[in-house]
Amino acid sequence: MATAELTQPEARVLVAPDVAAPAISSAPSRTATLGMMFIAATMFLSAFLLFSVEPIVAKMVLPLLGGTPAVWNTCLVFFQAVLLAGYLYAHLSTKLLRPRQQVILHLCVLLLAFVVLPVHIPLGWVPPVEQNPAPWLLALLAISVGLPFFVLSAGTPILQKWFSHSSHHEGSDPYFLYVASNAGSLFGLLSYPLVLEPALRLAMQSRAWSCLYILFFLMACGCGAITWHASHIGMCSIAVSLERSPNDASENIRTKRRLRWVVLAFVPASLTLGITTALTTDIPAIPLFWVLPLAIYLLSFIFVFARKPLISHAWLIRRLPFLILGALFPVVSRSTLPILIWIPLDLLTLFGVAMVCHGELARIRPSTRHLTEFYLWISVGGVLGGIFNALVAPLIFRSVIEFPLVLALAALLRPPIDVKESTPRARRLDVLLPVTLGLTLFAVIWILQSLGLRPGRAMNILIFGFSLEWCLSFGKRPVRFALGLVAILLASTLYTGPYGHILHTERSFFGVNRVTDDDHKQFRMLFHGGTVHGMQNLDPAKAREPLSYYTRLGPIGQVFAAFPARGGDDAFAFVGLGAGSMACYLSPSQQLTYYEIDPAVERIAGDTRYFTFLRDCGPQARIVLGDARLSLRAAPDQRYRMIVVDAFSGDSIPVHLLTRQALQLYLTKLAPGGILVFHITNIHLNLQPVLATLAADAGLSCLVEDDTAVSEADIAKGRFPSTWVVMARHPNDLGRLASDARWKPLLDRRGSKIWTDDYSSVISIVKWQ
């Protein structure tokens, strides 16, 4: 088609003869400004819906899989994969279709999502008990929320592309709208644990979300109308955006640049999941601790794509080595930091890494012509980061090594500081200095352990602190610094920390289990994460004696002493297997059923090379794999004389085992005169108010013993402090415990809200000190 040429002071515009060229001015018209604001508001709502539905659905499926932190990470992998599919759809539809055709297609796809609203979990979906449940969970998410998440994920690139077709003067560089999108995402995430979860039950949350989706659909129709109108009167605006920056219009995107986009997006995404796992291993996998890392991840996008960056990119590049080394110290030294230090340190490190990586993405972003492709490759990096953490790492690593490895990769990607050129000598030193550091640390650890010395906290600070400070001197050169981190990681593998002599390590969907012997070869322990879940004396004469939280002098020993064995009709249910030590409280004639969700724990407890409780203690023990609530439903009603809830993920009881519905289920399985026992020992949470409220709601008698007066000598003999709660239908059912001064009534605290499957709030019971 022939074209006429029109020259304006600010741009050269190509206009078709049958289309009148609109006047181009430096200031946008009032209509264009309102259109931009409306599109930004629609993007905000789209992102809000996208990221608020994530915790809603994750909380719906959490009870089906025992409350493990891997549930949220697997959900994130799904969301990232669907986000990639949405970005691919946005990229292809903008490339292959004219603006009006794309408007029609996208509105039809948005309308199609109504068929699965309100968001819910379909009936009849039961997770596999002996296989990795990740594929099952991904399929469930696809059925329940895949379609609305797909259409919402395409909203950011499509709406930005629609805006680029407008006559607004910012249309040539609409990346600033990414701020509106990420602000909506951040608001959606934070509003869930702070507003939606405390105020609304899950069913109401789903209905409220569906109503907002209807509003979004109407607003998307309005954006479509704006684009439709712009494509009618302003086809020249596309030419305007191309002619404003001729170099950008002909910009050639090379494979190396695309790979850099992918890697820069991979690192923060992987680190987000790694820190999420760290936060929720010893603290329940609740929405607040899900959303904090993801919120920081999104906040970094808001900062780096703002028109005026709030934090200097160069300043962050210089400070990043300090943050990386600070986060790495507890990993290599096997130290446990106080919660008020540990959580902020990890989150601050994530913020620094995300700001640097995303800042580099913003710095090397392409022109509007490649906008949807740019977002597509960023999404590829995010998906690969999620897949690496949630699916690949549990298969190829025996421990959670992906977190420090990604920190080393972040160090490698960081731009150099005040390094103008690299000489051959400097490149040789980039390898030789880290190797020297690693060999020195390895030698120190080997000498100490050969002498039978185990570094305490002060020695940890001295040895590993000095090594990390040495590594900090490499900070100006990314390759040298990253290799220094890898050298420290490799050398630290020789140091076992509190785990003693490690005999076996096994990682599953539900976490990392370690079997270890202490330094004196007196006790064998089962660790889940950093928490002891079972302990046995290596002296054959004492091998049947329950230890750690389960000693005969402790609360659970008092419970079994108060309820001596009866005839062969006695049946007991233990939720949580551990090493199987509580089997030694029962006689061979009594029936025992363990409900255990992790097949790895069953393999370890049943392997007589590690523990012999199940073989030697004699009761007719049966192990049922799967989530306890799902498995208990199949058990006969009114059967068990005692149900002991001793299920932990790291150091926390899964929330869904402490709800009104869970208690009702336990009571249906409890024989007349039977008792419920809860093990609630916890470093980070005070679970007593939760159980007090549940007991009061159900009209049960409730006692608690907080057995914290345990001496160092007792600990050396294998007795740990512990807290246990018992419940019964009638005070008389508590037997001798009712008159035992060590057991106190657990009274309901006024104002406490009962936990249900629809409602739980962990924030109020966190021990922040």
In the chain, pLDDT over 70 holds for what percent of residues?
84
Instruction: Please tell me the predicted confidence (pLDDT) of residue 431.
Output: 93
* Mean pLDDT on 516-522: 84
Query: Given a cut of 70, is residue 297 above it in pLDDT?
Result: yes
Instruction: Please tell me the predicted confidence (pLDDT) of residue 751.
Output: 67
In the chain, pLDDT over 90 holds for what percent of residues?
30
- Give φ, ψ of 752 to 5 degrees: -75, 135
118 preceded by cis ω (within 30°)? yes
Query: Given a cut of 70, is residue 94 above it in pLDDT?
Result: yes
Instruction: Please tell me the predicted confidence (pLDDT) of residue 203.
Output: 85
> 32 or 77, which is more confident?
77
Q: For residue 39, name the pLDDT band (cuts at 50, 70, 90).
A: confident
Amino acid making up residue 408: A
Q: For residue 184, name the pLDDT band (cuts at 50, 70, 90).
A: confident
Q: What is the pTM of this model?
A: 0.71
Instruction: Please tell me the predicted confidence (pLDDT) of residue 23.
Output: 39
Query: Given a cut of 80, is residue 392 above it in pLDDT?
Result: yes
- Cα–Cα distances in angstroms (integers) from residue 712 to residues 337, 679, 680, 684, 718, in the given order: 21, 22, 21, 21, 10
Nearest to 557, CA basis, from 736, 733, 701: 736
Query: Given a cut of 80, is residue 277 above it in pLDDT?
Result: no
DSSP 741: T
Q: For residue 174, name the pLDDT band (cuts at 50, 70, 90).
A: low
Instruction: Please tell me the predicted confidence (pLDDT) of residue 20.
Output: 36
Ranked by mean pLDDT, the top range of 16-30, 506-520, 631-645, 649-663 is: 631-645
* Mean pLDDT on 96-115: 86
Q: Two tokens at 366?
A: 């392409």
Q: Under a CB-based contact definition with an 8 Å cutoff, are residues 223 and 42 in contact?
A: yes
Instruction: Please tell me the predicted confidence (pLDDT) of residue 649.
Output: 67
Where is average pLDDT lowest: 501-505, 575-579, 646-650, 727-731? 646-650
Instruction: Please tell me the predicted confidence (pLDDT) of residue 452.
Output: 65
Query: Given a cut of 70, is residue 1 above it in pLDDT?
Result: no
Q: Two tokens at 470?
A: 């040495």
Query: Given a cut of 70, is residue 25 above it in pLDDT?
Result: no
Q: For residue 552, name the pLDDT band (cuts at 50, 70, 90).
A: very high
- Cα–Cα distances in angstroms (integers) from residue 715 to residues 552, 707, 719, in the given order: 14, 13, 5
> 21 or 554, which is more confident?
554
> 698 or 79, which is more confident?
698
| Residue 140 DSSP SS3 | helix
The residues that bridge with 537 in the sheet, in sequence order, are: 523
Query: Given a cut of 50, is residue 84 above it in pLDDT?
Result: yes
Where is average pLDDT lowest: 125-139, 156-170, 250-264, 545-559? 156-170
Distance CA 288, CA 189 (A): 9
Q: Residue 252's Cα: distance from chain center in Å?
A: 37
Query: Given a cut of 90, is residue 650 above it in pLDDT?
Result: no
SS (H, E, C) 510-575: CEEEEEEECCCCCEEEEEECCEEEEEEECCHHHCCCCCECCCCCCHHHHHHHHCCCCCCCCEEEEE
Return the residue matching tokens 């009702």.
664
Query: Given a cut of 90, is residue 543 above it in pLDDT?
Result: yes
Where is average pLDDT lowest: 61-70, 170-179, 243-252? 243-252
Instruction: Please tell me the predicted confidence (pLDDT) of residue 457.
Output: 62
Cα maximum dimension of the chain: 101
| Tens digit of each residue's pLDDT (9 = 90 or more) over 322-348 | 999 999 988 888 777 776 787 889 899
Q: Cβ contacts of residue 483 below 8 Å, gap of 6+?
A: 430, 431, 434, 435, 474
Where is average pLDDT lowest: 120-134, 193-207, 636-650? 120-134
Query: Given a cut of 90, is residue 28 above it in pLDDT?
Result: no
Distance CA 27, CA 49 (A): 33
* Mean pLDDT on 137-157: 86
Mean pLDDT, rounded, of the chain: 81
Q: Under a CB-based contact definition with an 8 Å cutoff, are residues 534 and 526 in contact?
A: yes
Instruction: Please tell me the predicted confidence (pLDDT) of residue 609.
Output: 93
Q: For residue 240, name the pLDDT band (cuts at 50, 70, 90).
A: very low
Q: Two tokens at 399?
A: 């421990």
Where is average pLDDT lowest: 16-25, 74-83, 635-644? 16-25
Q: For residue 212, name the pLDDT band (cuts at 50, 70, 90).
A: very high
Query: Given a cut of 60, is residue 287 above it in pLDDT?
Result: no
Nearest to 208, CA basis, from 218, 219, 221, 197: 197
Distance CA 744, CA 738 (A): 8
Where is average pLDDT lowest: 49-53, 129-133, 585-589, 663-667? 129-133
Where is average pLDDT lowest: 346-350, 372-376, 583-587? 372-376
Domains in the chain, please, with CATH?
Answer: 28-413 (1.20.1250.20), 424-495 (no CATH), 547-765 (3.40.50.150)
Instruction: Please tell me the predicted confidence (pLDDT) of residue 68.
Output: 62
Nearest to 702, CA basis, from 661, 652, 743: 743
State the number of CA atoms in the 13 A half-sphere of 646 facing the CB: 27
Where is average pLDDT lowest: 173-187, 282-296, 361-375? 282-296
CB atoms < 10 A from the CB of 263, how many?
17
| Tens digit of each residue's pLDDT (9 = 90 or more) over 418-467 | 776 778 888 899 999 999 999 999 998 888 777 766 655 666 777 888 89
- Cα–Cα distances in angstroms (integers) from residue 506 to residues 546, 599, 608, in the given order: 23, 11, 16
